[in-house]
Copies of this chain bind each other. A is one copy, B any other.
Amino acid sequence: MGWGDLGAFGEPSKETPNLDQMAAEGMLFLDFYTANPLCSPSRAALLTGRLPVRNGFYTTNAHARNAYTPQDIVGGIPDSELLLPELLKKAGYINKIIGKWHLGHRPQFHPLKHGFDEWFGSPNCHFGPYDNRELPNIPVYRDWEMIGRYYEDFKIDLKTGEANLTQLYLQEALDFINKQQGSQQPFFLYWAIDATHAPVYASKQFLGTSQRGLYGDAVREIDDSIGKILRHLQQLGISENTFVFFTSDNGAALISAPKQGGSNGPFLCGKQTTFEGGMREPAIAWWPGHIPAGGVSHQLGNVMDLFTTSLSLAGLQPPSDRQIDGIDLLPVILQGKLIDRPIFYYRGNEMMAVRAGLYKAHYWTWSNSWEEYGKGTDFCPGQSVSGVTTHTQEEHTHLPLLFHLGRDPGEKFPLSFASEEYQRAMEWIAGIVQRHRDTLVPGQPQLNVCDKAVMNWSPPGCQKLGKCLKAPESDPKKCSWPH
């Protein structure tokens, strides 16, 4: 989902009354970022509080490449990483993930091995349908075992866009919340829906209801579901004891526009890029009785902050034996403070850009290769900024391209290198980058090796369902990451 996809963020058809209401009752974050322009590393960063380059969710196969966790990926979340649910357990929390895990699908990466107590959802994106010979269909898990596969037991009609998955995820969320009411145990629910990820889907009752086409139908169903979850918390009388945060894992995929792609509002390009459209996200905090209603924050935030903030809410400290990138947002949310901190924009193993205050400096620019662009892959449709949306990897490390995101949110007018403003801002930013580089200990890259043998041929539970498939011979290769 993109920054511009919600009514509260200026989507021209304003079809998200529940999320807009959530913002009106809570706090809207206008300068909130994901840790990566792609879903998988972004979700790993959210759950570890650490940049992908630290937690291993990146590749060194080629320079500055986006990588994720398709089903032939060999890697996943290392055991050495501490995930939010693992830590919350210490404070007595029960933890559930509903939806897309995306931190590795092989047994050692299973969410229940990394702190979650329950899972309903899938390890990978819902691409398909596959023939179960070249590629197996993606499994859907309940806790330790698979209970079916997409396109077989969990239907997605690519022709009509119909799938009732969001409704299943919603019911699962409501049931989980209900269950904890009996136990009085504190809970952490990671509602990791994926209806707006291509192939975009919506339930029958939402199909055709949006001005925006299928993508809008999916957004409307998510909006409706979140409204139901919030009202449920209120009806149970636990809303003032439940912190809720809504955000997205990457900008709208303009490559899928207009049929399956969303809006990044006034920002440049989309998913896969380190321009604002790729990484600035809609974000709303909600906690009635604690967060002043209608608040608007310009705090530079990041999905990694949800790690540290959640620990803080549970009375826990973040781990002290490693670098944590997330900050505790509670002073921002509860007291309206502004914390000075930078945002780093990585593409794989390269820091492409950094934001400090309203300045954003690009050290590298790349939208995608001429080769991919020539094949019709365009991450910036209709947008072209000379020297900025480049189709070769352009290095600017000695003289970064600098933008003022207040005057120029669309990254269209680089500041003059000769200006005093440029000199002053770059002096500040250079120090930030130096400190970042000096302390950076990259993790072991997890997204380098792919092997067809590790795909979801025979996930646990497949025997009971008669859904085990024969894996091919192992043939590990360097994954190909073109972007």
| A157 vs B215: C-alpha distance when bound (angstroms) | 48
**Residue contact A407 to B259, C-beta cutoff 8 Å:** yes
A385 within 8 A of B: yes
A406–B13 alpha-carbon span in the complex (Å): 7
Q: Which of B3, B212, B259, B382 contacts A412 (CB 8 A)?
A: B382
**In the docked arrangement, what's the CA distance between A238 and B176, Å?**
52
Complex contacts, A258 vs chain B, CB 8 Å: 404, 407-408, 412-413
A12 within 8 A of B: yes
Q: Given the complex of chains A and B, what is the CA–CA distance between A412 and B381 in angstroms?
A: 7
Instruction: Tell me whether A212 and B413 are in contact (CB under 8 A).
Output: no
Enumerate A30-82 residues with CB–CB distance to B below 8 Å. 30-31
Complex interface: chain B residues within 8 A of A408 (CB): 257-258
Q: Which residue on chain B has the smallest CB distance to residue A267?
A: B12
**Distance of A52 Cα from B383 Cα, bound (Å):** 32
Is A241 positioned at the interface, with any CB of B under 8 Å from its CB?
A: no
Interface string of A246-260 (1 = CB under 8 A from B): 000000000001110
Q: Complex: how many Å from CA A202 to CA B126?
A: 52
Given known contacts A30-B13, A383-B383, A263 and B266 CB-to-CB distance under 8 angstroms: yes
CB-CB < 8 A to A133: which residues of B?
A: none
A298 lies within 8 A of chain B by Cβ? yes
CB < 8 Å: which of B216, B358, B382, B405 contacts A384? Answer: B382
- Interface members, chain A 1-25 (any B CB < 8 Å): 3-4, 7-14
**A412 close to B12 (CB less than 8 A):** no
In the assembled complex, the Cα of A213 lies from the Cα of B298 at a distance in Å of 16
- Asked if A121 is at the interface of the complex by the 8 Å CB criterion, the answer is no
Chain B: CB-nearest residue to A21: B294
Interface assignment of A268: CB less than 8 Å from any CB of chain B: yes
Give Cα distance in the complex from A7 to B298, angstroms. Answer: 13
Cα(A35)–Cα(B411), bound, Å: 30
Whether, in the assembled complex, A425 has its beta carbon less than 8 Å from a beta carbon of chain B, the answer is no
- A294 to B14 CA separation, bound complex (whole angstroms): 12
Residues of B within 8 A of A412 (CB): 257-258, 381-382
Cα of A263 to Cα of B14 in the assembled complex, Å: 18
Task: Give bound CA distance, A78 to B8, whole Å.
Answer: 44
Cα of A381 to Cα of B409 in the assembled complex, Å: 13
Cβ of A23 to closest chain B Cβ, rounded Å: 11
Which of B7, B12, B268 is close to A265, meaning CB atoms less than 8 Å apart? B12
- B residues in contact with A413, CB < 8 Å: 257-258, 381
Q: Report Cα–Cα, A407/B215, bound state, in Å.
A: 8
Contact with B along A452-473 (1 / 0, CB 8 A): 0000000000000000000000
CB interface residues, A 171-224, toward B, < 8 Å: 210-213, 215-216
On chain B, the residues within 8 Å of A476 by CB distance are none
- Cross-chain contact B265 with A266 (CB below 8 angstroms): yes
Nearest CB in chain B to that of A388: its residue: B382
Residues on B with C-beta less than 8 A from A213 are: 404, 406-407
Q: Is A410 an interface residue (CB 8 A)?
A: yes
A296 at interface, CB cutoff 8 A: yes
Contact A266 B4 (CB under 8 A): yes
Kindly state the separation between the CA atoms of A10 and B9 in the bound complex, as whole angstroms: 4
Chain B residue numbers with a CB within 8 Å of A31 are 12
Report yes or no: A212 in contact with B406, Cβ–Cβ below 8 A: yes
A385 smallest CB distance to B (angstroms): 5
Query: CA of A212 to CA of B385 in the docked complex: distance in angstroms?
Result: 20
Select A4's contact among B8, B10, B381, B407, beta carbons within 8 Å: B10
Q: Which residue of chain B lies nearest to A403 when distances are taken between CB atoms in the complex?
A: B258
Top 4 A-B pairs, shortest CB-CB distance: A10-B10, A211-B406, A382-B412, A258-B408
Further pairs besides A13-B298, A265-B266: 20, Cβ < 8 Å:
A4-B10, A4-B265, A9-B10, A10-B10, A10-B11, A10-B266, A12-B265, A14-B28, A14-B30, A213-B406, A213-B407, A216-B407, A257-B408, A258-B407, A258-B412, A263-B409, A266-B266, A382-B384, A382-B385, A383-B384
Could you give 16 example pairs across A and B, Cβ below 8 Å? A12-B405, A13-B298, A14-B28, A14-B30, A211-B407, A213-B406, A216-B407, A257-B408, A257-B412, A257-B413, A258-B404, A263-B266, A263-B409, A382-B412, A383-B384, A384-B384
